[in-house]
Structure 1
Amino acid sequence: MTAFAPDLSVTTERLVLRRFAPGDESRIREVVGARVRFLPPNAPGHRSGISQWLAHGVHELHRSGQGVHLAMEAEGLIVGAVSLYKTLWGAGTTEVGYGVHPLHRGRGYAPEAVRGLAARVFATTTLHRIELRANLDNTASLRVAEKAGFVREGVLRAAGTNADGPCDLVVFGLLRTDRA
């Protein structure tokens, strides 16, 4: 297999991870209007781009075969997003990223989503490694990686950037064999 399933969805104990759809427009409109940051990197910064993004932009990564963006839904609300990207099918690797709406943080949604998505990836693809990278000073993301079962592998010095400039990134990995 060299692509993620077009109908990829994952159900965990409290979440449904699913593709973004045109029906999400009103919720995404609220999020963009409030300038809340948790959507995938290519999300529109202005309400006028939401329809186009939901119809096409959010699905470009999937069409390219390099990943997929999924809405993280709990109790009928989009509470976050989780993505697979930088997928190298020949090498058998992908990277996972996520964001949770500030009003829904601290409830364990991110590790639950990452665990569920990782389990689905290993069950339905030939990929054997999922990476997760987090800023060294982002303790919440470091905890997510650990709670999701990822192994801390090292620090990449000045490999990321934030508002203050270059920052160190912690690299975590999860192997198919770790799940056994």
Structure 2
Amino acid sequence: MRKIVVRGEDFALAEHRDGDRQWLSDNSDGAFDVDRDGREVPVQFPIHRLVVTTPDGKELLGQVSWHPVMYGPSYGCMAWNFGYTFLPRNRGKGLGTEVLRALVRHLFDTTDVDRIEGSTDVTNVRAQRSMEKAGFTREGILRGAQLRKGKRHDLVAYSILRTDR
């Protein structure tokens, strides 16, 4: 049985079990997967992950992840950068907005960080709408921020502050 961390009406956020990441990868359409270019990333940071499941924790719907980013030398300059993905059959049902709201509540309730940020491809209008409905503010375009299929792609940046709630 999965340990449920956050429960929503139509979903739960739960701890990963062995094999979950591989199963999600095998069942994804890879629509926004980034290229791995073989170079080692010079800075490593902890990545936190939860799976998105049905309310009973039995069926995988997708996953969320977050990691710290720093804009200065102190804790007060840290933010959480999140990512989320759903299996193709679970997209377009409004689930993303509710999952983001739950993730924001969870991160603000369990950590002292005052900023949560994320981004999405400029063509991913559904994700942009989802972030805006969840209370995120559109900040601008990150030019050429991702490499996918050998081509640079622009992202739209969003954030929410603790004081926005």
Class of the TM-score when normalised by the shorter of the 2 chains: 0.7 to 0.9
CA distance in 2, matches of 1:18, 1:9: 5
CA distance in 2, matches of 1:110, 1:175: 19
CA distance in 2, matches of 1:119, 1:15: 15
Name which of 99, 117, 121 aligns with 2:103: 117
Name which of 69, 74, 78 aligns with 2:49: 69
Partner in structure 2 of residue 105 of structure 1:
91
Can you give the 5+ residue segments of structure 2 that lack an aligned partner in the other structure? 35-43
Q: Secondary structure at the match of 2:142?
A: strand
Can you give the 5+ residue segments of structure 1 that lack an aligned partner in the other structure? 1-6, 42-63
CA distance in 1, matches of 2:120, 2:28: 22
| Sequence identity percentage | 29
Q: Secondary structure at the match of 2:92?
A: coil
C-alpha displacement at 1:160, in angstroms? 2.1
Name which of 43, 62, 65 aligns with 1:80: 62
Confirm or deny: 8 A CA contact 2:68 2:78 kept in the other structure. no
Q: 1:165 to 1:147 in 2, by over 3 A?
A: same
| Cα RMSD for the two superposed structures | 2.7
Q: How does 1:99-178 map to 2 (within 5 A)?
A: 99-163=85-149, 165-178=151-164
Confirm or deny: 8 A CA contact 1:66 1:86 kept in the other structure. yes
Partner in structure 2 of residue 12 of structure 1:
8
Q: 1:77 to 1:159 in 2, by over 3 A?
A: same
Q: 1:33 to 1:161 in 2, by over 3 A?
A: closer
Pick the structure with more helix per residue. Answer: 1
Greater shift, 98-107 or 84-93, is seen at: 84-93
Greater shift, 158-167 or 75-84, is seen at: 158-167
How high is the TM-score relative to the length of structure 1? 0.70
How high is the TM-score relative to the length of structure 2? 0.76
Q: How does 1:22-101 map to 2 (within 5 A)?
A: 22=18, 25=19, 31-34=24-27, 36-37=29-30, 66-75=46-55, 76-88=58-70, 90=75, 91-101=77-87
Q: 1:34 to 1:126 in 2, by over 3 A?
A: closer
Counting matched residue pairs gives: 147
CA distance in 1, matches of 2:145, 2:29: 25
